[in-house]
């Protein structure tokens, strides 16, 4: 396991890959996830991966463009193109964490995006309401729960990002109130002060770790209850 590495170098690689991919694919993809939140919504934890929604079907040429970008910057350790996902595992330097690049093919009609300019490149990203709602859904619907979803969810809720009720209904079949009540029960069942830092601690500062262990679970539940009551 990597214990210590240069976070700034890793961030530069993430940004360089993002720029090259968006230049090559244009409006075929929308950037989302933790690194998008870090770069565009000032998320206060580090993120190691690149996540995209595919807005227009990929061609073989599009896949080849991504492979070419990755190959000239490092090594592709894994790749698959399945029904709903195009995935790459990228290794750019020894003793640094691999970068996962995931391109989601399941386009939801109620997802919404906005266009931003970043380092001279026009990039489409998940907007505030989709960023929050994606986290609400991801928290309880991954095969294995991850604490970074809980951390990010609290961050977005605390910023006052709006919830996309139609997206919740489209993805889960539940109303907003039904789903948030379900999510509160899920959080209480899954997370404790003993496990809440698992898979999250390496992306936080020491003071943040203390807050996460002591307050993240309860503070997230409080925020969800506020949204249920309409506050």
pLDDT 10s per residue in the chain (231 long)?
445 677 888 889 999 999 999 999 999 999 999 999 999 999 999 888 999 999 999 999 999 999 999 999 999 999 999 999 999 999 988 878 899 999 999 989 999 999 999 999 999 999 999 999 999 999 999 888 889 999 999 999 999 999 999 999 999 999 999 999 999 999 999 999 999 999 887 788 888 999 999 999 999 999 999 999 986
User: Same structural domain for residues 175 and 147?
Assistant: yes
Per-residue pLDDT at 94? 82
In this prediction, residue 2 carries a pLDDT of 41
Quick one: 177 and 147 in the same domain? yes
C-alpha torsion sign, points 197, 4, 90, 35: positive
Q: Are residues 10 and 119 in the same domain?
A: yes
Residues 122 and 201 in one domain: no
The number of folded domains in the chain is 2
pLDDT of residue 77: 96
Confidence at residue 231, expressed as pLDDT on a 0 to 100 scale = 60
Pair (67, 99) in one structural domain: yes
Q: Which domain holds residue 154?
A: 127-231
132 lies in the same domain as 121: no
The whole-number pLDDT of residue 1 equals 41
Closest by CA position to 216, among listed 199, 197, 189, 190: 197
d(CA 88, CA 68): 12
- Spatial distance between the Cα atoms of 205 and 78, rounded to a whole number of angstroms: 30
- The confidence score (pLDDT) of residue 66 equals 98
Predicted pLDDT at 5 = 73
Distance CA 183, CA 186 (A): 5
Q: Are residues 187 and 222 in the same domain?
A: yes
The verdict on 106 and 131 lying in the same domain is no
Same domain for 173 and 101 = no
132 with 118, same domain: the answer is no
């Amino acid at each position: 396991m990597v214990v210590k590495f240069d976070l700034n170098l890793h961030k530069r690689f993430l940004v360089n890959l993002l720029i090259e991919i968006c230049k090559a694919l244009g409006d075929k993809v929308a950037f989302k996830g933790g690194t998008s939140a870090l770069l565009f919504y000032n998320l206060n934890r580090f993120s190691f991966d690149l996540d995209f929604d595919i807005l227009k079907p990929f061609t073989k040429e599009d896949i080849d463009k991504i492979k070419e970008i990755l190959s000239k910057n490092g090594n592709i350790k894994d790749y698959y193109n399945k029904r709903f996902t195009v995935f790459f595992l990228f290794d750019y330097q020894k003793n640094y964490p691999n970068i996962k690049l995931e391109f989601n093919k399941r386009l939801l009609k109620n997802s919404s995006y906005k266009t931003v300019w970043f380092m001279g490149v026009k990039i489409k990203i998940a907007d505030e309401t989709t960023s929050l709602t994606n986290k609400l859904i991801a928290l309880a619907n991954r095969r294995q729960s991850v604490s970074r979803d809980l951390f990010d969810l609290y961050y977005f809720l605390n910023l006052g990002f709006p919830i996309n009720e139609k997206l919740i209904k489209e993805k889960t079949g539940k109303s907003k109130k039904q789903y948030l009540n379900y999510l509160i029960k899920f959080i209480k069942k899954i997370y404790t002060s003993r496990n809440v830092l698992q898979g999250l601690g390496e992306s936080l500062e020491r003071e943040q770790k203390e807050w996460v262990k002591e307050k993240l679970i309860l503070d997230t539940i409080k925020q969800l209850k506020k949204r249920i009551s309409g506050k």
